[in-house]
Structure 1
Amino acid sequence: MKKTWQEKLKDEPSFPKVLRLEKGFPCYNAVHKMGAEAGDDVVLVNPSEVVEIMKQVPKGKLITIVEICKKIAKQHGVPACCTLTTGIFIMTAANAAE
């Protein structure tokens, strides 16, 4: 049976993960534009961390994926956050809220 959006928002026990950024990573170009280099640490987080940051945004204001990733990276003490998984979690949270 297909998972609901709410089920997809559940945290995975194997996350967060910190990996060494490689040029072949799907999020490499995006995090490289944000200043990360191959060999830097990049964090992949659980959906709940992304949702918590989104909840802190005042009504009528917005936050970009770059700003969310910078906050997450800072929280984990690494130079970068995977923009691909973060973007997926943003979309999942939006669909779960409907």
Structure 2
Amino acid sequence: MSEPALAPRNAFHGVIAVWIASLVTAVLLAVLLPEDVRIGWLLIAFGVIVLASFAVQLAYGRASGFIVRIAASVMGSLLLMGLVSIALGLAALASAV
């Protein structure tokens, strides 16, 4: 009699981990950097987050749904970092008035 296969780990935990990392990174960059260099560093951070999403999903070692998980990681990170950028832009506009 063969043994049942173990249930694989849920790979979407890696997606949520990348989202949290992107939100924390964006907020830290918003707080720590001056206004004139902030957008450039947000773009660099997003590139690092994209690479991190590939690394996290490759670490799971599951081929099924790989593209969907990468897309979810990258699009969620883009949305979160975009919302932080919008908030920063609105704060800059409010302080200029």
Q: Give the TM-score taking structure 2 as reference length.
A: 0.34
Name whichever structure is richer in helix by fraction. 2
> Could you say which structure has the larger radius of gyration?
2
Higher RCO, Cα 8 Å, sep 6+: 2
Q: Give the TM-score taking structure 1 as reference length.
A: 0.34
Name whichever structure is richer in strand by fraction. 1
